[in-house]
Amino acid sequence: MTGQQQERTRRRLRLIRWATILDLILLVVLVSASLGGKREIVRLVGPLHGINFLLLLAMVGTGTIDGLWGWWFPLVVLLTTGSPGALLGEWIIGRRMMVQQVTSHDDAASERDEDDPPLSETREDHLGK
C-alpha cells in the first residue's frame, strides 16, 4: 500500500469513526428514551439512528468496492448492527496499516544496508589491503 493509499484509507476510517460515534450517541439516546417511555423522542431519534446505520454501512461498503479493505468489514458491521463492528474493523485495519508501514520501513532500511559496503571492507580499502 502506497503512502497515498494509506492516507486515503486513514481519511475514510476517520469518517467511519465519526459516523460510528454518532451511531453510538443516537443508540444511547434511543434506548434511554425508549426505557423512559418518551415516545416523541423515540419517533424522532429512531429514524435518525436507522439512517445513520445505513450511512455507516454504505461508507464501509464503498471502501470495500474501492479496494481499501475486504468484504469482511461490511459483513462485521452488518452482523453487529453497526458501531461494534465498525470500531472493531477500524481497529483491525489501523493495526494492519501500522504493521505494514513498519515492515516497509524495515525493508527500505535493509535495502540501504545492502547497497552500502560493510564498515570493515571500507576500512580495508582505505588501508590499501
How does pLDDT run along the chain (129 residues), one tens digit per residue?
A: 677 888 899 999 999 999 999 999 999 999 999 999 999 999 999 999 999 999 999 999 999 999 999 999 999 999 998 899 999 999 999 899 888 887 776 666 666 555 555 555 555 555 555
Q: Count other Cβ atoms within 10 Å, centred on residue 52.
A: 21
Evaluate whether 81 touches 67 at the Cβ level (below 8 Å).
no
Q: What's the confidence (pLDDT) of residue 88?
A: 92
What are phi and psi for residue 38, nearest 5 degrees?
Answer: -95, 85
Domain count, the chain: 1
Q: What's the confidence (pLDDT) of residue 102?
A: 77
Range of the domain at 46: 3-127
Quote the pTM value: 0.71
User: How far is Cα 87 from Cα 97, in angstroms, rounded to an integer?
Assistant: 15
